[in-house]
Amino acid sequence: MKIQASAEDYLEAIWVLTQNEQKVRATDLAAHMGFAKPTISIIVKKFKDNGYITIEDERYITLTEKGAEIAQRIHQRHTLLSQVLMAIGVNEKQAYEDACKLEHAISEETFDCVKRWYEGHRG
């Protein structure tokens, strides 16, 4: 399923936070993303309605299988593209910013080719 780049970023952020914390709340997501809690509350409601997350005890966010699949795919793209950019000399901060833009723009085929190339060239 194709969703907007910003939604993919939110799902990725939830996934990253769940890797570092046992329970993720909307306030954690707001702090991580740098947005106000009311904005995050709207996104959280949409994600729940669309089956990307569940809310436990009315406050803890958990990715569903569908949400986790998207989040992990985007995170893998972000991480690999950042590594490729740093490998060719881009500074870390710029590499992460550019990777965030690229992760949404390139096709699956292009990403797979970049991944194969990078894995064959790192050493």
CA distance to 39, 45, 83, 84, 91, per residue, from 99 (Å): 24, 28, 9, 9, 12
Instruction: Residue 88: give the domain boundaries.
Output: 73-121
Listed residues 31, 49, 69: the one ending a domain: 69
Q: What is the chain's pLDDT, residue by residue, as a tens digit (123 residues)? A: 457 878 899 999 999 999 987 789 999 999 999 989 888 999 999 999 999 999 998 789 999 999 999 999 999 999 999 999 999 999 999 999 999 999 989 999 999 999 999 999 875
Whether residues 57 and 84 fall in one domain: no
CATH number for the domain including 99?
1.10.60.10
**Residues 80, 118: Cα–Cα separation, whole Å:** 8
Q: Which two tokens stand for residue 52?
A: 């990307």
**Residues 106, 94: Cα–Cα separation, whole Å:** 18
Listed residues 69, 85, 103: the one ending a domain: 69
Whether residues 15 and 34 fall in one domain: yes
Token pair 């907007």 is found at 4
Please count the CA atoms within 13 angstroms of the CA of 74 that sit on its side-chain side: 26
Could you give the number of structural domains in the chain?
2
CA distance to 12, 14, 61, 100, per residue, from 105 (Å): 16, 21, 27, 9
Q: Which two tokens stand for residue 106?
A: 């390139």
CATH number for the domain including 58?
1.10.10.10
Whether residues 84 and 34 fall in one domain: no
